[in-house]
Amino acid sequence: MIQVVVNGLVNGAILALMAISLTIIFSILRVPHFGLGGISVWGAFVAYFGVTRFGLNLALAVLLAAVSMAALGVLIEKLAFRPLRGATEDAMFVSAIGVLIAMENAALLLWGSDARSIPAEGLSFVLAVPGLVYLPAMRAVIFAVASLAFLGLYFFVKRTRTGKAMRAVAQDSAAARLLGVPIDRVASYTFALGSAMAGVAGALVGAAFTFNFEMGSPSVLKAFVVVVLGGMGSVAGAIVGGFALGTVDSLTLTYVTSEYKHLVAFGLLILVLVFRPSGIFGQRKLRADV
């Protein structure tokens, strides 16, 4: 039981990373960027080839994944979302689905459908409390990296000038623009930040478990479940929601059903969207229309 909860928390850390990248892009720019699922897949592949082809150590490979995905994220924003600024969220969502499908299948074309795992030298030992909990060191690393990313994000958004600009755009993009905040640059930074985090999340999955080209869509949908649970735009909510869903998922997988593994998460998604659209932690005010 404790083992199951611990496994759930590890999954939860990854989910929380994905959820945060989704929620910052959505709350700052109103772009529901499901393409982040594709970014996480590509991040995992970059880290994988960094380790296997170029002999990088895991930390460098993850960093490489973060940087390259940040660059790719900026490019995607320019091509697929910037021309749609001012269009409806529906339109942006369709474009994001396009990005997701294109990236997953490009990965399939380039690198095939085998399940791979990023080899992690020196991290194959297991931390254990005998008879109670076994935790492979790699999964402990996930915890550490995720926490580091949360802290880094917090300081970036709260303490830097760019972070302040992001918060201004999130509050009221028209007013921010009138006051001279360069929206285009803020958009680029936001996409870089979100994509880097999604890339790291993918690389961590690849190092601790296995990954292949199609892990992106379920993970981004689950991340969306987390975002909704935690309340749109709430980073703290995304972290708590991530751990909650990770644990619930792990428990249902062990004790309820292993075949219908998405059923619980997506059923929950529908229920929350329908009956509590502002999330469990959010204030009840998000439904502005009719």
Partner 1 sequence: MARVVKWALPFVLALGFPFVGQEGYFTHLAITILIFSILASSLNLLMGYTGLVSIAHGAFYGIGAYTSGILVLRHGVPFWAAIVIATAFAGIVALGIGPPSFRTRGIYYIIVTIAFQLIASEIFDNWYSMTGGGLGLKGIPRPEPISLPFLPALGFQSKFVYYYLVLAVAAAVHYGIWRIIRSPLGIALMAIRDNETKALMMGLSPLRYKIGVFVFASALAGLAGSLYAHYLEYAHPDLFSFFVSVDVFLMVMLGGAGTLYGPPLGVLILEMLREVLHEFVALRLLLYGLLLIVIIVFLPEGLPRPLARWTRRLVTPRLLPGSAP
- DSSP type of residue 130: T
> Toward partner 1, which CB reaches closer, 134 or 266?
266
Residue 46: phi and psi, rounded to 5, are -60, -45
Shortest separation between residue 96's beta carbon and partner 1, angstroms: 9
Cα(188)–Cα(172) distance, integer angstroms: 17
Beta-carbon count within 10 A of 260 CB: 12
> Toward partner 1, which CB reaches closer, 58 or 95?
95
Cα(51)–Cα(125) distance, integer angstroms: 19
Shortest separation between residue 108's beta carbon and partner 1, angstroms: 4
Interior CA angle at 182 toward 180 and 188, to 5°?
165
> Toward partner 1, which CB reaches closer, 24 or 204?
24
Shortest separation between residue 140's beta carbon and partner 1, angstroms: 32
Shortest separation between residue 26's beta carbon and partner 1, angstroms: 9
Cα(30)–Cα(45) distance, integer angstroms: 28
Q: What are 281's two structure tokens?
A: 């932690």
> Toward partner 1, which CB reaches closer, 66 or 226?
226
Closest Cα partner for 13 from 240, 262, 249, 206? 240
Sort strands 133-136 and 126-129 into parallel, antiparallel or unpaired: antiparallel
> Toward partner 1, which CB reaches closer, 165 or 227?
227
Residues that bind partner 1 (CB under 8 A): 32, 79-80, 83-84, 87-91, 93-95, 97-106, 108-109, 217-218, 221, 224, 259-263, 266-267, 269-270, 273-275, 277, 287, 289-290
What is the total residue count of the chain?
290
Shortest separation between residue 262's beta carbon and partner 1, angstroms: 5
> Toward partner 1, which CB reaches closer, 139 or 222?
222
Shortest separation between residue 6's beta carbon and partner 1, angstroms: 26
Per the CB < 8 A criterion, the answer to whether 77 and 99 are in contact is no
